[in-house]
Each structure stands twice: as structure tokens, then as C-alpha cells.
A and B are shown apart, each in its own frame.
Chain A
Amino acid sequence: NAGVTQTPKFQVLKTGQSMTLQCAQDMNHNSMYWYRQDPGMGLRLIYYSASEGTTDKGEVPNGYNVSRLNKREFSLRLESAAPSQTSVYFCASSEATGAYNQPQHFGDGTRLSIL
């Protein structure tokens, strides 16, 4: 009963390095999301995917790219990491596109530090 699984849980990078955060869900959900959480700023949407094969920008997309590999997996890539991208990253999924009364299901997060 895994739900939403994120890897890795922790990562330290140097400025300019690249990395990909992985996310997979086993609930057959159509929609998936990437957020970042910073102290005092709640959750900010980076990118989302309303269905397999589609992706759209959220509130803070600069410096990130995403890939919806299949219905289960949605990855987030930092091409050239910057200290301002130090944050906790959460992946989430929800049941159906356009079903506006469905809650989101979250992974446990990736804690990313960029030196």
C-alpha cells in the first residue's frame, strides 16, 4: 500500500550540478503534481500533469523541467542547481482530471540542499 513514492529522501548538491527527483504512484491516478515547500511560504506548485502525455507550468517553474514518463511516474529535473532551489520537494497525485472534489495524495518529500 505504497501510495506516492519519492526518491531520494535526501540529497546534497553543489551549485551547477544536475539531478532528477523521481516520483511514482500506484493508485492509477491521472493527475500528478510537483510542489516545493519553503518555511513560511506554504506549498508552491512547480509543474503539473493533468494526464499521461501532458505537462503544464505552475506558479514557480523557472529552473525546472518535468517528464511524465507514463501514467505512474512523474519526474522533476534540475538542470543546473542553484542555492535558491534548496527546499523540500513534494510529489502528489489525484484521481481524475477535472474531478475537482478529489483530494491530493502526497509523498513524504525530498529534502534537497544546494551548496
Chain B
Amino acid sequence: GDSVTQMEGPVTLSEEAFLTINCTYTATGYPSLFWYVQYPGEGLQLLLKATKADDKGSNKGFEATYRKETTSFHLEKGSVQVSDSAVYFCALQANTNAGKSTFGDGTTLTVKP
């Protein structure tokens, strides 16, 4: 079945550091890929998405590129801020699954001033 594997956390960085959160997936066909962010006490919200190979999703300084050859969708940001502290979830949506998504376990990011 479909699965998503994220790098284990928690991740702690200093402000202005470079961020990478690894995500790899297993799926049949050509899924769409998403990154969601969850702030404390809130639900998940979409951060960015990519729907086909070599697509780059970007938002709020975050980027991720859909790499079919390595089945990966790593999240990056060049300079993190304290306000980026949150839990980040990688997810996939297969094209045969009635809109259901498969989520990774989440990676907690803490950014210190």
C-alpha cells in the first residue's frame, strides 16, 4: 500500500539556519505530493504541493521538488524564523483513492532565537 516516511524529529535550529526535512514515499502510479504545517493548538494547513514529476512547490520561503527517480519530496527553507516552529507533515494522494491522503508521522521543528 501507499506510505510516507519522514525524517525523525525533533529538529532544533537557530534562527536564520538552513532547513531540510526529508520525505520519501511509496505509491503506485503518479501521486500528488503535499506538505502541511500544524501550529500548536490548530489543525493542519496546506503549505505547498506538487502534482507531477519535477514540479516545485513553494510558499512562504519553503520549497519542495517532486523527484520521481528517488521517490522524494524534501522540504527546504534557506533561513528559518522563530515563527516557523511547528509540526510539518508530508502527504501523498494517489490518483485512485477517492481523495484520501496518506500522511507521514510529522516532524517537529523548533527554531531558537
- Chain A contacts to B: CB under 8 angstroms: 4, 31, 33, 40-43, 45, 48, 50, 56, 58, 90, 92, 94, 96-109
Contact = CB atoms under 8 A, between A and B. Distances in A.
Interface of B: 31-32, 34, 36, 41-46, 49, 51, 89, 93-101, 103-106
Contacts of A105: 46
Given A4-B43, A100-B94, A100-B97, 20 more contacts: A43-B44, A43-B89, A43-B103, A48-B98, A48-B100, A50-B98, A58-B100, A98-B98, A100-B31, A100-B93, A100-B96, A101-B49, A101-B51, A101-B93, A103-B34, A103-B46, A104-B101, A105-B46, A106-B45, A108-B42
Given A90-B43, A108-B41, A101 B32 contact: yes
B105 A41 contact: yes
Nearest to A104: B101
16 contacts: A4-B43, A33-B100, A42-B89, A43-B44, A48-B99, A48-B100, A90-B43, A92-B44, A94-B99, A101-B51, A104-B44, A105-B46, A106-B44, A106-B45, A107-B43, A108-B43
Contacts of A40: 105
Contacts of B95: 100
A42 B106 contact: yes
A106 B105 contact: no
Interface of B is mostly: loop
B58 to A, nearest CB: 15
Given A42-B89, A103-B34, A97 B104 contact: no
Contacts of B36: 103
B99 A31 contact: yes
A86 B103 CA distance: 20
A17 B78 CA distance: 50
A50 B96 CA distance: 12
- Highest count of chain A CB atoms <10 Å: which of B43, B45, B104: B43
Contact of B99 (A4, A41, A97, A109): A97
B105 A42 contact: yes
A40 B42 CA distance: 17
